[in-house]
Amino acid sequence: MFGRFTALQDISMTIGRGEFVTLLGPSGSGKTTFLMILSGFEAPTSGRLTLDGQDMTETPPEARGFGMVFQGYALFPHMTVEENIAFPLKVQGRSAADISCRVKEMVEMVGLGGHGHKRPAGLSGGQQQRVALARALAYAPPVLLLDEPFSALDKNLRGQMQDEMRRIHQETGTTFVFVTHDQEEALALSSRIAIFEKGQLQQIAPPREIYERPANRFVAEFLGDINILPVSGTSIEGRAIRLPDGAGDHLAIRPEYMDLSLSEPGEGNALPVQLRDLTYLGAETRLLLATKAGVPVTLHVPTAKLPEGLAPGAALWTSWEASRGFLL
């Protein structure tokens, strides 16, 4: 199951109490390995893991007291919903009255009232997900680790479960560490996102910061769409451009901050482009453009604001406010 071996390198991260940190990255980037090291199911070859200042690098998973939600939920198939949730409490040796009280509380919290006596096989994917969450949170762990918990759910259900997850995170105040490869999910849920690539931590920052000020080209391109234009001196393809502060020989701008016009705008940064292709997406239309030098530029334009009669080959201008771009 954890046979795929991804080495992690030089990762240093501090996660605050009550945070919701998402580990995001392409498959094989090391995000799951990192989660397994946090859980104790895998051991790092070097480095230290501390909780409240206490070293727990060598602490086995059963002694860490973390909650964990596995991909595929890993419910006990032979136990009912209530028995599943009661299992970690029984392990702790709590009294029967205490257990039944806590189980009832957890069943209500995840909205599974009336399903307590069903087995996992009799539940939908979303309901199984809730059981897994309730079971992992039953003994109020200080940290909850989640390994792609929504990957088996369809898109509508995902949205619902994300809202639910946020509510439960706020209600319990538990620290959540969440692995996903879905960037929308990461942006929607997290207090901070950690981007992994090739076993290295590329950046860790709040969603807005990581989206608007990515630390490097990988992060910029991994999260959402971005246009990247090569800069020479203070000009792009021979046109003088006002550049933002920073260093780097590429200017990056998110498509939603770029405007489209039929003629050269009077002021501001602008580049002549040619329309290559356009894709109708309903409320928006995605335009594929190219600069004179052939650098691709993607734009999302509200379909209602799109000039009529646009066809591939049309000569257009695109412009942006200098402060919206950043150098990479």
Partner 1 sequence: MPRRNGRGILLTRGGIMLRSRLLLLAPLLMFLALAYLLPFLGVMRWSVTLPEPGLGQYGTALSDPLVLSVIWRTVRICALVTVLAVAAGYMITLLWVRGGPWMRLFVELCILIPFWISVLTRAFGWLAMLSNRGVLNTWGQDLGLLAEPLTLVRNEFGVVIGMVHFLIPFAVFPLASAMRTVDERVLLAARGMGASRARIFWQVFVPMTRSGIFGAMLLVFVFALGFFVTPAILGGGRSVLVAELIWLRIFQSPDWGLAAAISVIMMLAIGLLLMLTMRFAKGTGR
Binding site for partner 1 (CB under 8 A): 1, 39-41, 61-68, 70-72, 74-78, 87-88, 91-92, 121, 135, 139
CB of 153 to partner 1, least distance (A): 17
CB of 291 to partner 1, least distance (A): 46
Q: Report the nearest approach of partner 1 to the CB of residue 1 (Å).
A: 5
- Report which residue type is found at 135: R
Q: What is the DSSP string of 225-263?
A: --EEEE-BTTEETTEE-PPPSS--SEEEE-GGGEEEESS
CA atoms within 13 A on the CB side of 55: 4
- The DSSP H or E segment spanning 203 is strand 200-205
Residue 40 or 214 with smaller CB distance to partner 1: 40
Phi-psi region of 319 (alpha: psi -120 to 50; beta: other; left: phi over 0): beta
* Least distance (Å) between residue 101 CB and partner 1: 19
Q: Are 180 and 106 in contact (CB under 8 A)?
A: no
**Residue number with CB closer to partner 1 (135 or 192):** 135
CB atoms near residue 313 (< 10 Å):
8
Q: Quote the least distance from Cβ 129 to partner 1, whole Å.
A: 14
| Residue (140 or 240) nearer to partner 1, CB | 140
Q: Which is nearer to partner 1, 121 or 283 (CB)?
A: 121
In the bound state with partner 1, the residue whose beta carbon lies nearer, of 30 and 67, is: 67
At position 328, the amino acid (one-letter code) is L
